[in-house]
Amino acid sequence: MATSAPGRDHAAGSGGTPPDVPAAAPAPSRACSRCGAALAAGQDWCLECGTAAPGRLGRRPGMRAAVAVATLTLLLVGGAVAASYAALSTDANRQAGTTTPADASPVAQAPPVIPDTPAPAPAPKLPKGTSTTTLPGAGATPPAPIDPLPSAPAPSAATPGLVSPSGGTTTTPSTTTTTPSTTTTTPAPAPLVALKIPDGGAALYDPYTRATAQGDPARAIDGKPATSFFVTTADDGQDQQVGLLVDLGAVKRVRAVELATSTPGGTIEVYGADGSAVPTDILDTRWTHLAARKDVDGDSKAGNEPRDGKEQIKVATPGAASADSGARVRRVLLWFTVPPSAGHTVRISELKLLG
């Protein structure tokens, strides 16, 4: 005999306690069709890969293809925009790299001259012997020539002009500098003074024994114009080569020799020596040539009056800066070479050494 469940029987018999209600069946689980991730109830999109849940797009046929096309279109448009931006940026950088630096000085340029009318085209050259044919448009009046711009005047050599930024010429005022002149006055030489000649300071100098006759040399320095010294040499066609020697006794500065003579003409050379001994002959290197006088008392050289019976001969050491500097010597020799005009006798009445 079958028995019923106690509960059910109780419920059916008493009606106080309700019978047990069976639990609801669980909803079927869903998974992503792409990655297999679980989808909750009511979840339309996969949280892992973003794929639509099954049945989400199934209600609209072809929706997935349309979305794919739209997505691809957006990607293409975005790529094109990015490429255009990159190209513009590259051009901007290249232009910035070739731009003139801000600190570069601008180069001033003259504004170009734009003619109002174009210049007429030059007529074609025709070969020689060909007759001239009127070209089309030859009868038209040629346009008036354009006057060239006036050129800037060339700057003068004395005052160069400066070119202004506008192209004109700016004249620099000339400056005159006056340098004060310096005048150097050379003091006049001191007057000549006769030097004292000791007694016995005059002697005949005849190293080659040329004298054939002679007077007393002391008469040339005794201060008496009436007395004189003379010397005669042979008339053999040679120079006289004899002289009158004066010893000052000490080295002194001699600037000139002054003599009085009655036998003009002839040549006298002046030598000097500063040693204590007399040089042996005229070629001795101890002699220094101080002066020479041709045609004694015969012309007006060196300020002398011709035929006045006097002659002054200035002496100086060779290479001296001034002709008036004289020479420091002890002995002075009057060396007679060319004989006087009257013959082979030289006569001197007075002789002075001036310093």
What's the domain count of the chain?
A: 2
Distances (CA, A) of 280 to 50, 155, 164, 168, 179: 144, 77, 86, 87, 59
Of the ranges 51-55, 110-114, 220-224, which one carries the lowest mean pLDDT score? Answer: 110-114
Helix (H), strand (E), coil (C) string for 171-240: ECCCCCCCCCCCCCCCCCCCCCCECCCCCCCEEEECCCCCEEEECCHHHHCCCCCCCCEEEEECCCCCCC
Average per-residue pLDDT for the chain = 77
Q: How confident is the model at residue 52 (pLDDT cuts 50, 70, 90)?
A: confident
Domain range for 54: 33-65
Residue 97 pLDDT > 60, yes or no? no
pLDDT of residue 14: 42
CA-to-CA distance for 252 and 130, rounded, in angstroms? Answer: 106
302 SS3 class: helix
Q: How confident is the model at residue 136 (pLDDT cuts 50, 70, 90)?
A: very low
Q: Is residue 26 part of a domain?
A: no
Q: Is residue 113 part of a domain?
A: no
211-214 and 229-233: which strand pairing? antiparallel
Q: What is the mean pLDDT of residues 57-82?
A: 73
Q: What is the mean pLDDT of residues 205-212?
A: 98
Single out the residue in 18, 45, 65 at which a domain terminates.
65
Q: Is residue 17 part of a domain?
A: no
Q: Is residue 148 part of a domain?
A: no
The DSSP secondary structure of 10-23, one letter per residue, reads: HHHHH-SSPPPPPP
279: domain CATH number is: 2.60.120.260
Q: What is the mean pLDDT of residues 191-214?
A: 97
What pLDDT, in 10s, does the model give residues 255-265?
999 999 999 99
Single out the residue in 18, 42, 65 at which a domain terminates.
65
Share of the chain above pLDDT 70, in %: 61
What pLDDT, in 10s, does the model give residues 173-189?
556 666 666 666 767 78
Of the ranges 1-10, 86-95, 243-252, which one carries the lowest mean pLDDT score? Answer: 1-10
Single out the residue in 25, 41, 65 at which a domain terminates.
65
Q: Is residue 155 part of a domain?
A: no
Residue 58 pLDDT > 50, yes or no? no
Residue 169 pLDDT > 70, yes or no? no
Share of the chain above pLDDT 90, in %: 42
The maximal CA–CA distance of the chain, rounded, in angstroms, is 220
27-31, 86-90, 335-339, range with greatest mean pLDDT = 335-339
pLDDT of residue 117: 54
Q: Is residue 75 part of a domain?
A: no
Is pLDDT larger for residue 95 or for residue 199? 199
Q: Is residue 218 part of a domain?
A: yes
Q: Is residue 226 part of a domain?
A: yes
CA-to-CA distance for 161 and 171, rounded, in angstroms? Answer: 5
